[in-house]
Amino acid sequence: MHYRAAHRGAMLPMEVDDEHEKPKSKRTNQQLLLYLSLAINVMLGLGYAFTVITTADSFTRIQSECHSALHDRMTQSTQQIQDLQHEVESLREDANHHTSILEYISSVHLPVRTIATEQHRKLTVYHVIREFAFIAQKVPPKVEAEVRKQMAARKMKHEDENESRKLTPEEQKQKRDKKLFGGDGKQLYAAVYRIDDLSDPQHQYKVDINAKQNKLTGITAIVPSFALVFVEGGAKPMARYRRLMERRVKWNERSTPREGAEPQPQHNSDDEGKQNTCSLVWEGPILKKAFQSFRIEKFDSVAMGRAFFDKKNVPQYFEMCKNHKTAQED
């Protein structure tokens, strides 16, 4: 409802059509909503702008702090490098004192991978190049000369130690004898062998020379009906001599006589079919040696051979060999 003006300012009510009033109120509401949304957008924009300005200020402050810290660090590193260069130049001028380079290397503190700072450092060219390349580039002749000097000293020390541990010729002989002939030689062994026929000079030579080379003592007694070989010595040479007597020597093979040599004795026709054998009669430990060397003796009879063993106080060896029967005789 509207009011119209009357005389003298009186306000009288006036009726208005409702159909024309409704569109006007609708436009007013839309304008209010538009103004409200615009205000909200302005406020959001101002907040975002404030946030951006604040973040930019923080970033600028952090960036300035980083730049200042980096500048201080670079200044400090540059000063250290200059100090090192001055020290290297001073060492370069001091040409008469080579050890000063190593003292400087020992005193330098590296942040990464350092060699142990011991009194006697084991320096090599690889170590210097890896850890102290800045010095090697400045004074390479001195560093290399000092490192080569230490390497030569270590090599000479190693060779001197080896030379001091080297055995004398007498000690080498004792070591070789101990390896070949056993230990201290306190434990002795003896063996008695019976050979049916020892008339062949080659067989006699093998029996004699191998006993002497193995440092065995004893005797080879040749009697008309058989031959007795008695040896005594250590365990190792006795084992080698047994392999010789039982395996290596071919007792049935006779050597060809040389020109100018004495003719070998003729064998009977009955003995030609027999096999010449070598048998181990007895072997065992003994307390002491009965002979001082090894030799070959020939006796004209069995009684003379028995008498010889009686003088050596070992007649039992001759009796065992004489009474021993071979496989052919059995």
pLDDT exceeds cutoff 70 at 102: no
Q: Which region among 79-88, 171-180, 235-244 has the lowest average model confidence (pLDDT)?
A: 79-88
In sequence order, what DSSP letters do the residues of 75-129 get, joined into one string? HHHHHHHHHHHHHHHHHHH-TT-THHHHHHHHH---SS------SS----HHHHH
d(C-alpha 103, C-alpha 133), whole Å: 16
d(C-alpha 262, C-alpha 208), whole Å: 19
Across 21-46, b (16+ Cβ under 10 Å) vs e yields eeeeeeeeeeeeeeeeeeeeeeeeee
Half-sphere exposure in the Cβ direction for 10 (13 Å, CA): 5
pLDDT score, position 139:
55
Q: pTM for the whole thing?
A: 0.51
* 187 burial level (CB within 10 Å; 0-12, 13-18, 19+): exposed
CA angle 168, 169, 171 (to 5 degrees): 65
Residue 64 backbone phi and psi in degrees, to 5: -65, -40
Per residue in 223-282, pLDDT (tens digit) is 999 999 999 998 899 999 999 999 999 999 887 776 655 655 555 545 556 789 999 999
pLDDT exceeds cutoff 80 at 69: no
Per residue in 26-52, pLDDT (tens digit) is 567 777 777 777 777 777 767 666 676
